[in-house]
Amino acid sequence: MEQRGTMQVREYNLERTLAAIRSTGPLTAAQIARTTGLSRPSVTSIIGELTALGWIDVIEPVLDGQGGRPPQRYGFRHGAGLLLGLDIGAHRIAALLTDLAGDVLVEDHVTVDPELGAAARLAALDALVVGVLDTHGSAPDAVWAVAAAVTGPVDATGRTPLFSPLPGWTEVDLVGHLRRTLPCPVQVENDVKLGLLAEHRWGAARGARDVVYVLAGLRTGAAALVEGRLVRGHGGAAGEIGRLPEVRWHRAVEILTGEEGDGDADRTRATFEAARRGDADARTRVRSYARAVATGASALVLMLDPEVVVLGGGSVPWADLWVPEFSASLGRSVIRMPAVTVSTLGGDHVARGAIRLAQQRIESSHLTGGVRPARRPPADDDGSDDGSAAPPRRPSGATPAT
């Protein structure tokens, strides 16, 4: 029992030290000791073990010209592997290739016809993935984890059996398809949920524990974090409040443009720009649009009582025109008004969320419950994501090594 407790403490201190290096950047041994509270001998031993496991690099000091030699620093070996994030939409397929820290190495996208069938859409996806890897000069086995965003509720198998706006997509096994060329763990998740993951890691929801995220663009959708965990629901359909006709999210773009049918980026842009120029009719439609978006957001706020509501999507560039009316409408409907903020992540936020999901897979399989060697996990790795990247936990009864 004593040996097991010692091993638990050791694993905890390995996780804690690596987490400090990952989050803060290259650190000296003295800085690691101050950050973790460990003794210098313990830090030296842990650095040696993390180096042997392949997770940190020694950054050689640069002579300062004053006769002194700065101490060595130790940095996270973010180039050990690659992550691939995909956003498979109706009009566009995007891909991001990053290192393990999430720093973008290659990004690309292709425009597709919204009526494109499943086989042709998968072929376009495959060509995009090959192009991104070729641009970086990497083989498929350099990718450690893949995550893909799709529209519609995603179940535990990565499928969208309930509904999807992509023709023929409810029958697609995207996980199986991607694994045939990428021999690593593959995850698929709803695009709005991944947009929220990106906001929580890098954007407007950073540091918040309870968040409602509203995607407002050619379509309107929502996702939520509760106590730092992504809310998926039993079958992946949590957040699909727009299915209620009373919410009016299915008609939000029609309300904005005054034209029936699927949303069109040019028409929505024209309406917003006319409103900016002072056109009275356009301004009226923009206000009605804001109230329609606020209706569904109000229901989610009343249910979840979030700390913050984050607004993202294609309508963000015109936030100054509609968000004040959105906030006023929300405030009239809820018991406690949350903060309302607008995304600053830009158009690749969903693919960025896919990268965050892939990161969480590596964190789960390699860096939680014991630090494992830095190598690509097998395709059938069963590491799972809980929607949050929690810091390492101290084992019961353990105290830091000294």
Do residues 287 and 232 make contact, with C-beta atoms less than 8 angstroms apart? no
What pTM did the predictor assign?
0.88
- 2-76 classified as CATH 1.10.10.10: yes
Do residues 388 and 228 make contact, with C-beta atoms less than 8 angstroms apart? yes
In sequence order, what are the beta bridge partners of 99?
82
Tell me the residue type at 307: E
Q: How far is C-alpha 38 from the chain's CA centre?
A: 33
In DSSP notation, 124-168 reads HHHHHHHHHHHHHT--GGGEEEEEEEESS---TTS---S--SSTT
What is d(CA 104, CA 94) in angstroms, rounded to the nearest whole number?
13
CATH of domain 79-194+349-367: 3.30.420.40
Task: Report pLDDT for 394.
Answer: 40
Phi, psi for residue 389 in degrees, rounded to 5: -110, 85
Show me where the domains of the chain are located: 2-76, 79-194+349-367, 206-342
Task: Report pLDDT for 259.
Answer: 79
CATH of domain 206-342: 3.30.420.40
Query: Which mean pLDDT values do the consecutive 10-residue runs of the chain (402 residues) have?
Result: 65 91 90 92 94 91 65 92 96 96 96 95 97 97 97 93 93 96 96 96 95 93 95 92 89 87 79 96 96 96 97 94 98 97 89 97 91 90 48 40 36
Do 79-194+349-367 and 206-342 show the same overall fold? yes
Task: Report pLDDT for 380.
Answer: 77
